[in-house]
Amino acid sequence: MATETSSESAGTTAVVAKANEQIGGAYRALEAFSAKRVRNLGILLAVVVVFSVYAITQDGGRIYLQRIFDSLNNGFVYGAVAIALVLIYKATGVINFAQGEMAMFGTFLMIDLHDYRGLPVWLAILGAMVISAAGAAGIERTLIRPFDPTNHLSIVMVTLSIFFIINGLVPVLYGIDPEAVPTPFPGAKDDFFNLFGVRIRYENLGIWITVGLAVLLISLLLKRTKIGLAFRSVSSNLESSRLVGISTGRTLQFGWALAAAVGTLAACLVARFNQPIDFNFMGKVLIFSFAAATLGGLDSVLGAVIAGLMVGVAETMLGGYVELIGSELALLVALAIIVVVLVVRPSGLFGSKKVERV
Amino acid sequence: MTERVLDVSGLEAGYGQIKVLRGIDLHVDKGEAVVVLGANGAGKTTTLRAICQMISTKGSVKVRGKEMIGRSTPDVVRAGVAHVPQGRGTFPDLSVEDNLEAGAFVRKDKAGVRQDRDLWFSVFPRLGERRAQLAGSLSGGEQQMLAVARAMMSRPELLLLDEPSLGLAPIIVQDLFRRFGEINKQQGVTMLVVEQNASLAFGLADRAYVLEAGQIALSGSAAELREDDAVRKAYLGY
């Protein structure tokens, strides 16, 4: 009996060992495949070209261009929300799952300030950004800072709970009726101009410029200012930051506030295209932004924007030309991007692989 | 009477349930270089971490007469203490230049900071050559230079060095200790060095403490302790 069991277990061990070896081999093959960066970029480019040729022969060049320009809207917004995710990730090493809901709250604040308190749209957006930033600073102080910053799991759980709290709070405060969203840009039906036969709406142009400026400001803030230096130091080495006299809590708080302000700005801009909005409208946006942040490498601000644009274009083009995907399965595109990036190139397109000699 | 830059008495500290320091008394006067010797686990690193309030502590830590217990680490830095931690503790994702800039975080005089940065680039030309490079890509010796230069960027009254020789080639260590000597004697920076390499440490130090199991076992001038039989057997190996 005993010998039987042991020989059986020996058999199982052999099978397990073989399976392990095969899985290991598969991963090594994948790694070897992904190591050849130039070739992979070539493959990506070839796929894009083939798809473009197919798309142009299908519906003509003008619609192709129109779709690309239309997709930039979403792209910029995904990029902006991805920046918010990246800022928190750099500082704390975790994804803030509540980022989308915080931004959603910010959008309702904006509508509140505009519709019921009579502020002009621009001021309402700025006001909502300031309130979001203050709120995020408060969240950081009360819900994040008490936890050990090296214990990522507990912080992730806290951000998840913030997600549910805000998602439950907003319908209580503002009701569940869908709301119309104001825009700061000329948004009437005929507010557009033509470029190469492509219709460009002023409203869209406004979004591109706004997000572009926001990215520029954030980059300058991080690279050129003292608080930016503190933020980068804290992201790089928490303990040494304390040893040079940086108060790490306040620096992380700054990161949370900045991320919330950017998130609210992006949500206010994207809400217009999903109107009337209810308290769940950021769910889809957040998933595309996750994809953008992953593709961009999670720790690069500029990478997040470029990846956001790529994700936006991919969503619109695949949804537009591949009937099977349409708009219903567009979310799958985002999820597929996340999975492929994590398997082939976990550090994303622009993320820093940790270079460290020890 | 010379100024007491650091005055530690009855210092207790530990991690969770484990008590590492069991009442330590030591002091460092202005301009001195003092070394703390001890075996692995004696509490050398913990002593420095406790002085900087990086762990919860009991007793008294006075920096230039001001009590630091209960204050935050940035407060201790602002009081004039710079700490080069074990393992160097540079910012690997920041350029060499930004590392130095971060070292001067508590200072307000921009022009002075720029001057000091250039000064340290001339003291350590290797760092100057690599000023735009990420600190994480430097060699061990270069990282230690960077860590020291970064600490000096805050113009400290007291420099704490935690096993600067760890993991470096002997020739690099000798060069580093020569630099420490210059920083101490020529620039007049007070130093507290934790070290396992006793012969090197005695070369640098005016006075020494020997730490055993979380308590000061011996103290005296470097010359005295160098001749002490127990110290010689335990730390110098002859």
Residue B93 to residue A246, Cβ atoms within 8 A? no
The mean-pLDDT minimum among A209-213, B29-33, B125-129, B221-225 falls in: B221-225
pLDDT of residue A1: 46
Query: Percent of chain A at pLDDT above 70?
Result: 96
Q: Is the pLDDT of residue B222 over 70?
A: yes
pLDDT of residue A356: 47
Q: What residues in B contact A252, CB-CB < 8 Å?
A: none
Say if the ipTM goes beyond 0.95: no
Question: pLDDT higher for A292 or A40?
Answer: A292
* A225 touching chain B per CB within 8 A: no
Q: What residues in A contact B148, CB-CB < 8 Å?
A: none
Q: DSSP letters of A185-214?
A: S--STT-EEEETTEEEEHHHHHHHHHHHHH
* A224 touching chain B per CB within 8 A: no
Cβ(B4)–Cβ(B65) below 8 Å: yes
Question: pLDDT higher for A58 or B69?
Answer: B69
Q: What is the mean pLDDT of chain B?
A: 90
What is the dihedral angle through the alpha carbons of B46, B52, B54, B59, rounded to the nearest 10 degrees? 70
Q: DSSP letters of A70-95?
A: HHHHHHHHHHHHHHHHHHHHHHHSS-
- Specify the residue for token string 């119309």: A180
pLDDT of residue A26: 83
Dihedral of alpha carbons B156, B161, B167, B170, sign: positive
Residue A243 to residue B77, Cβ atoms within 8 A? yes
Give the residue from B154, B157, B194 showing the smallest Cα distance to B66.
Answer: B157
pLDDT in tens, A113-124: 998 888 898 999
pLDDT of residue A4: 53
Q: Name the helix (H) or strand (E) containing B219.
A: strand B215-221
Query: Percent of chain B at pLDDT above 90?
Result: 56
Cα angle A95, A100, A101; round to 5: 115
Query: Percent of chain B at pLDDT above 70?
Result: 98
pLDDT in tens, B116-145: 999 999 989 999 999 999 999 998 889 998
pLDDT of residue B101: 93
Cβ(A106)–Cβ(A266) below 8 Å: no
Give the residue from A237, A221, A240, A217 showing the smallest Cα distance to A229.
Answer: A221
Q: Across residues A173-194, what is the average pLDDT?
A: 82
How far does the CA of residue A247 sit from the closest CA of chain B (Å)? Answer: 6
Of B54, B72, B138, the CB nearest to A357: B138
Residue B78 to residue A233, Cβ atoms within 8 A? no
Q: Across residues B92-106, what is the average pLDDT?
A: 93
pLDDT in tens, B161-203: 999 888 888 888 998 899 999 999 988 899 999 988 888 888 8
Of A226, A245, A352, the CB nearest to B77: A245
pLDDT in tens, A123-141: 999 999 999 999 999 999 9
Helix (H, G, I), strand (E, B) or coil at B192: strand
Which pair of structure tokens corresponds to residue A15? 């099978």
Q: Is the pLDDT of residue A2 over 60?
A: no
pLDDT of residue B53: 93
pLDDT of residue A8: 66
Give the residue from A275, A284, A341 showing the smallest Cα distance to A312.
Answer: A284
Query: Percent of chain A at pLDDT above 90?
Result: 40
The mean-pLDDT minimum among A114-128, A327-341, B82-96, B143-157 falls in: A327-341
Cβ(B12)–Cβ(B57) below 8 Å: yes
Q: Is the pLDDT of residue B238 over 80?
A: no
* A357 touching chain B per CB within 8 A: yes
Contacts of residue A131, Cβ cutoff 8 Å, sequence gap at least 6: A106, A109
Cβ(A254)–Cβ(B109) below 8 Å: no
Q: Is the pLDDT of residue B1 over 60?
A: no
